[in-house]
Structure 1
Amino acid sequence: MTDTDTHTHTHTEGEAPPDGEFEQHPVRGRFNAAFFRVMDPTLERSLGSHKRAAYADLPHEVVELGSGAGANLRYLPAGGTLVAIEPNHAMHAPLRRAALRHGVQLDLRDRTAEHTGLPDASVDTVISSLVLCTVADPAVVLAEIRRILRPGGGYRFVEHVAAEEGTPTRAAQRLLRRPWAWTFEGCSCERDLERSLRDAGFADLQVERYRVHTPFLPFNTHIAGVARA
């Protein structure tokens, strides 16, 4: 298991941090680490079937963007290796414990999804779930994924997205966007991530659209699938 050095940085509101760095919030980081540990069974009931389809037959080594507290370790083969791109320090300890429970080797990188630090064309599989909603610019992250994937490699994703205009869910997303983003570390419930994926230049893209039913109405519209380099 490898950890990179911890970085601290202060920047202007709305401005992206420098390459590979992440603004550690003293409250939200710990809240999100606790929230997603507690909510893991509920999220798994809602998203599990879609994750099992998207993450079927993962290879021995996988790069995950935003590994969090390790919700997706259950989909890796025992004895496999997870290269975890996770900048929230509050997630690191539960992620290590989860890797031990699942028998997965953990290579933990204290980096952001925009700047993984991995070599060009060095990765067969990248995965993410509920991550593209939080990054400063999804197009930059998708370009980074394309950069590190080998030709024919796959990006497997499970993400929540903006609902269609004129629907109650879309109205709730618009109404709650500011408190939602503050609580969940910049998470936007208004992004058309399917369009972002289609514009990213992948050689092939398979997308499933679906809804989940939770009390968190802005979270109900999702996509899952695979993009090939």
Structure 2
Amino acid sequence: MAHQHPIFARVYPALSRAAERGGMTEHRQRLLAGLTGEVIEIGAGNGLNFRHYPPTVTRVVAVEPEHRLRRLAEIAAERAPVPVEVVAGLAEHLPTADASLDAAVVSLVLCSINDPGAALREIRRVLKTGGQLRFLEHVRADTRGIARTQRILDATIWPHLAGGCHTGRDTTATINESGFTIESIDRFWLGNARTPFTRHILGTATPVPREPDHSAG
């Protein structure tokens, strides 16, 4: 499968552990609190979300395209408090039927997907009516100097070094433009430092109801 980033996959576990020490654990818990039923997690990475799923979740399908991270996620799934199935796949082509899932989770992944809008439309496809999208993402800064640095990084070396990651995407706008309504959102800086990597959003969105298809019959 494409989308392999072997060098980044080797360093990502250490980076993610540093983020946990910087306060990410608390935000993961908030991200997943109150979820119920069957959930798909897109870009599961090394599975750091798994231990935070509440017991009201009956099943998690965890999609991860990078084989090294997927193996780490499989190990994490064995210790999860809920059933987790780790599968290979891409966010733009989820291995799930239409309107089959109660919730979808994206955390620190929309920054790296080639076409986040396409991924979000695919997520909308697999969610049931009334389903939820839970998101936790680092995004474009709202300070001019840091936003400028983000633009420079994204246009030069950072995506090549960091597995396709972009530091300055306007993910809030992309969610709104991809068939979702944002129901709640918290904007925060991770830790005390204001850097190109620490501006985040956390929230819940719901799919905009599709118009009925009157073409048949």
Q: Same fold (TM over 0.5)?
A: yes
Residues in 2 aligned to 1:26 and 1:206: alpha-carbon distance in whole angstroms: 36
Output the amino acid matched with 1:47: M
Change (3 A) 1:110 1:216: farther
The structural deviation recorded for 1:128 is 1.2
Equivalent residue, structure 1, for 2:215: none
Indicate the residue corresponding to 1:71 in structure 2: 48
Secondary structure, aligned partner of 2:79: helix
Partner AA of 1:131 in structure 2: V
3-state SS of the aligned residue for 2:205? strand
Matched residue type, 1:195: A
- Is the partner of 2:203 in helix, strand or coil? strand
Q: What's 2:80 paired with?
A: 102
Decide whether the 8 Å contact of 1:58 with 1:75 is kept in 2.
Answer: no
| Cα distance, 1:137–1:125 mapped onto 2, change above 3 Å | same
- When normalised by structure 1's length, the TM-score is 0.80
Mapped pair 1:25 → 2:5: yes
Shift of 1:94: 1.4
| d(CA) in 2 for partners of 1:113, 1:54 | 19
**Do the aligned partners of residues 42 and 190 (structure 1) sit closer, same or farther apart at CA in structure 2, a change above 3 Å counting?**
closer
1:183 deviation in Å? Answer: 1.9
Contact 2:22 2:190 in 1 (8 A): no
What is the alpha-carbon distance in structure 1 between the residues aligned to residue 105 and residue 21 of structure 2? 16
Partner of 1:50: 27
Does the CA contact (< 8 Å) of 2:6 and 2:68 recur in 1?
no
Indicate whether 1:181 and 2:178 are aligned.
no
In structure 2, C-alpha distance between the alignment counterparts of 1:213 and 1:175, rounded to whole Å: 23
Matches within 5 A, 1:185-200: 185-200=163-178
Distance in 2, matches of 1:44 and 1:131, equals 19
Letter in 1 for 2:47: G
C-alpha RMSD of the superposition? 2.2
Q: Which runs of 5+ in 1 are unaligned?
A: 1-6, 8-21
Q: Which runs of 5+ in 2 are unaligned?
A: 208-217
Shift of 1:41: 5.4
State whether structure 2 residue 67 is matched by structure 1 residue 89: yes
Q: How many residues align?
A: 205
What secondary structure, in the 3-state scheme, does the structure 2 residue paired with 1:52 have?
Answer: helix
Matched position secondary structure for 2:180: coil
Residue 171 (structure 1) shift = 2.7
